[in-house]
């Protein structure tokens, strides 16, 4: 135990791991915020598609960095991913809203085109597909100082938009027709969700990679929905789950030789499975307990007093003047 504490103490003294922890906390906070809206809108795979589109941006940034003799050549990879991700997200939303192609078809086309374009462009930049590995699967321990500053700025923007516009965005996700009827600009709000999702992908790419980025956005929200039906509680709970799991995954991979991104996703999926099984068993036990409870017997109604005898119809009831006369005759 003391060895483990000393190991983590050394980790916290390393500037590299300090940056990695900061980025992990920011990703854990910001990714579930936009993920809550995507789940409510039924766009859980949007982050996955944008993540593949971002690979083209990584390759374009690599080409630009090589042309400008920037050292290292991938110094502009994250800015390139941001620009291309935002443009791709806007294009997906425009096609979904105004084009004849369904949104899922447009997402699939950009999904495949993005990853293929990234592979081809990275070759043109003089690199290999191996250079894309850290962006495909994440490599949080290689986060540079500029990457950390990009992550901080983008995470602040995501949190400001996601929490500041929570009311209008919730109305849009719940009922778009109602949102339009009350005068809110649904088109602008849809584009806002897409753009913020693209920024979230750019922030999370160095943590879990483009192939797994959607998990950090969606799985904490799915886990929180098993525990709460409230929109606000679900968002807050998913943010807490994201921070705890991202930090736990990073600390685990510091002592265990494994990919930090893969470890974070495995922990998220494992937590979801545990919560799903636990809640299902709890609901089953509650139903069984309710069935085993004895049915309370209905209380017997108190016996009503006997009704007075009914006089036969047509019988003559003596009046007060006739009654003394009848007694004298008797």
pLDDT in tens, 170-209: 888 888 888 888 888 888 888 888 888 888 888 777 777 7
User: Please, is 204 exposed, middle or buried when counting C-beta atoms within 10 Å of its C-beta (0-12, 13-18, 19+)?
Assistant: buried
Chain-centroid distance of CA 257 in Å reads 28
Q: 162 lies in a domain? A: yes
- 108 within a domain of the structure (yes/no): yes
114-to-8, 60, 76, 161 alpha-carbon distances in Å? 39, 11, 18, 26
| 107-119: pLDDT as tens digits | 777 778 888 888 8
Question: Given a cut of 90, is residue 258 above it in pLDDT?
Answer: no
Has residue 233 been placed in a domain?
A: no
Task: Report the chain's terminal Cα–Cα distance, integer Å.
Answer: 114
Evaluate if residue 84 carries a pLDDT over 70.
yes
Q: What is the pLDDT of residue 244?
A: 93
132 part of a folded domain: yes
pLDDT of residue 48: 80
Residue 35 C-beta-side C-alpha neighbours within 13 Å: 31
Q: 172 is written with which tokens?
A: 């849009």
Whole-number mean pLDDT of the chain? 80
**pLDDT band at 314; cut points 50, 70, 90:** low
Structural domain boundaries enclosing 92: 10-214
CATH of the domain at 77: 1.10.3470.10
- Residue 278: CB partners within 8 Å, gap ≥ 6? none
Rounded to an integer, what distance in angstroms lies between the CA atom of residue 32 and that of residue 38? 9
The verdict on residue 41 lying in a domain is yes
| Residue 195, both tokens | 């753009």
Q: Take residue 258 and report the two structure tokens written for it.
A: 């494994």
204 falls within a domain:
yes
Out of 51-55, 101-105, 207-211, 237-241, least confident range: 101-105
Number of CB atoms found within 10 A of residue 192's CB = 20
Max distance between CA atoms of the chain, in angstroms, equals 140
CA-wise closest residue to 214 among 328, 324, 85 = 85
Residue 222 has pLDDT above 90, yes or no: yes
Cα 178 from Cα 78, distance rounded (Å): 38
Looking at the structure of the chain, the number of domains it has is 1
User: Is 322 a domain residue?
Assistant: no
Residue 279 CA to residue 288 CA, distance in Å, equals 14
Q: Establish if 74 belongs to a structural domain.
A: yes
């Amino acid at each position: 135990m003391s060895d483990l504490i000393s190991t983590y103490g050394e980790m916290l003294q390393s500037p590299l791991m300090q940056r990695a922890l900061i980025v992990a906390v920011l990703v854990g906070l910001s990714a579930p915020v936009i993920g809550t809206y995507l789940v409510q809108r039924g766009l859980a795979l949007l982050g996955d598609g944008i993540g593949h589109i971002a690979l083209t941006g990584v390759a374009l940034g690599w080409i630009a960095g090589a042309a400008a003799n920037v050292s290292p050549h991938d110094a502009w990879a994250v800015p390139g991913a941001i620009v291309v991700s935002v443009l791709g997200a806007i294009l997906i939303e425009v096609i979904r809203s105004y084009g004849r192609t369904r949104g899922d078809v447009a997402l699939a086309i950009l999904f495949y085109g993005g990853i293929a374009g990234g592979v081809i462009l990275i070759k043109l930049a003089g690199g290999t597909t191996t250079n894309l590995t850290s962006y495909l699967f994440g490599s949080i321990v290689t986060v540079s100082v500029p990457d950390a500053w990009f992550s901080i700025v983008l995470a602040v923007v995501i949190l400001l938009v996601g929490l500041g516009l929570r009311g209008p965005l919730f109305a849009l996700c719940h009922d778009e027709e109602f949102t339009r009827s009350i005068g809110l600009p649904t088109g602008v709000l849809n584009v806002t969700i897409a753009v913020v999702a693209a920024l979230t992908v750019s922030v999370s790419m160095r943590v879990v990679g483009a192939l797994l980025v959607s998990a950090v956005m969606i799985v904490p929200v799915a886990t929180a929905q098993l525990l709460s039906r409230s929109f606000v509680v679900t968002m807050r709970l998913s943010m807490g789950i994201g921070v705890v799991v991202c930090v736990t995954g990073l600390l685990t991979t510091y002592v265990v030789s494994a990919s930090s991104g893969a470890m974070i996703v495995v922990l998220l999926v494992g937590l979801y499975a545990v919560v799903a099984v636990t809640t299902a068993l709890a609901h089953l036990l509650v139903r069984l307990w309710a069935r085993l409870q004895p049915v309370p017997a209905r209380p017997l109604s108190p016996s009503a007093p006997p009704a007075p005898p009914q006089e036969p119809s047509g019988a003559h009831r003596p009046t007060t003047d006739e009654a003394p006369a009848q007694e004298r005759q008797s």
